[in-house]
Amino acid sequence: MNFKENIRIAIYSIRTNLMRSLLTMLGIIIGVFSVIAIITVGNGGRDYIVGMVRDMGQSMVSINVDPMRADASQYITREDVEKIKKLDDVQYVSPQIIGMGAASSETTEGFAIVISGDTDLRYILAAGVVEGHFFNEDEYQSAQRVCLIPKMGAKAMFGTTDVIRRYVDLTMNGQTAHLKIIGLVDIEMMGSSSDKFSDMLDSSGLMGGMSSAMTMLILPATLTDQMMGSEGAYDNVYIMANDESHLDIVGNAAANLLYIRHGNAGSKAYGVTNMATYIDLLDSVINILTTFIAGVSAISLVVGGIGVMNIMLVSVTERTREIGIRKALGAKTSTILMQFLTESVILCLIGGIIGFILGVAGAAVVAFYMNIPIAMKLRTIAIAIGFSSAIGIFFGIYPARRAAKMLPIDALRRD
């Protein structure tokens, strides 16, 4: 008997007992569905998160002041930043001040995450200005009361993205500034969560029932210095290099420059952090979590395999006389073995294909609602086919061997 004949007999047997076959496949379907959906969503989520972080931290190193080792005179100044910009292989440098304040427009009141820096901050944040302009050197040096706002933040505060030359009031550290919006930026991290944050505030009663929103505002650091009373002393600075391979060299050179300028060599007041290290670590952690969860889900494949073995044993018992007749007519033991093994593999493959299709569909639905891309890889397809085949072979061997070892005379005596 050739391979095509084995397939024909297997399909005929599955169609004859269709409901039983479908119930047998159910464990395989659920197992493959779970594994494929988790791996696909996990890969898509990983690519999205790591890509977003990489876009923000590409070719970037940060220098942070250790408050336990440095006094007020050793914090990073504007003059330090200008000197760092002149180092070899340095592309952009900016301090980054992050704070929170109360923000209000003509119709809405809420909270604002405030991010401040110098004119290079737009490159540090990877902020694409889609309308208007980023604050220039004159606006930075003169501490102009200007700001930029993300698109979603503009919708949250004004109900529209047509906000250039409109005003928002920012209250921070007891001081209020009437800020002119000069730019709309494509940064969605804060804006995308503003609706959920507003709902949380409303439900907690913190806003007293008034219209509330959350947004991000980007300000010149000189203006934030005035409002916070920090007088141009920064506890961190971000540096972008011309090439990612120069990050460590640039970071160490900048730290050494600070030690020389502040006369505190050996104090270990400045810590250098390569952002690429965190990106690789984040990638590894997400991969490990995805693999672990997929592995737990794969346990259902083992349960499904046991179900396949059980049904194949039932099938062998039901077809005892058929086996006896075939062996009496000269069928070899290997022929009977391959017949039932083929049926087991096809049963699992059909279940695997159905599970794969449902898994991709489920992943697409989840990815749509989570607003992340689908990352379907050839490895994922290989997992679905390979797992299904392996389960069919592993759990089909025992029933197939049992059928193949039957003596013709014993098989023909069965009712």
Coil, strand, or helix at residue 253? Answer: helix
pLDDT in tens, the chain (415 residues): 566 777 787 787 778 778 888 887 888 888 888 888 888 887 777 777 766 666 555 568 889 999 888 888 899 999 999 999 999 989 999 998 988 999 999 888 888 999 999 999 988 887 789 999 999 999 999 999 999 999 888 988 998 999 999 999 999 988 999 999 999 998 644 333 334 444 434 443 434 444 467 889 999 999 999 998 877 789 999 998 888 778 889 999 999 999 999 988 888 899 998 877 766 777 777 778 777 777 776 777 777 778 878 777 777 777 777 777 777 777 777 777 777 788 888 888 888 888 888 888 888 888 888 777 776 777 777 777 777 777 777 777 777 777 667 666 665 665 5
- C-alpha–C-alpha distance, residues 274 and 39, integer Å: 29
User: What pLDDT does 200 receive?
Assistant: 39
Can you say whether the dihedral through the CA atoms of 315, 318, 324, 325 is positive or negative? negative
Coil, strand, or helix at residue 411? Answer: helix
Please check whether residue 125 is in contact with residue 218, taking contact to mean a CB–CB distance below 8 angstroms: yes
| Chain segment 238-270, per-residue pLDDT in tens | 998 888 778 889 999 999 999 999 988 888 899
- C-alpha–C-alpha distance, residues 313 and 400, integer Å: 8
Q: How many residues does the chain have?
A: 415
Tokens of 350: 């059909």
- Rg (C-alpha) for the chain, rounded Å, is 33
- C-alpha–C-alpha distance, residues 235 and 270, integer Å: 9
Coil, strand, or helix at residue 188? Answer: coil
**Model confidence, pTM:** 0.58
129 beta partners:
185
Task: Residue 226: count other Cβ atoms within 10 Å of its Cβ.
Answer: 17
- C-alpha–C-alpha distance, residues 196 and 333, integer Å: 66
Pairing of strands 214-220, 109-117: parallel
- C-alpha–C-alpha distance, residues 324 and 10, integer Å: 18
Please check whether residue 100 is in contact with residue 110, taking contact to mean a CB–CB distance below 8 angstroms: no
User: What pLDDT does 210 receive?
Assistant: 40
DSSP state, 58? T
User: What pLDDT does 9 receive?
Assistant: 76
User: What pLDDT does 409 receive?
Assistant: 66
User: What pLDDT does 53 receive?
Assistant: 61
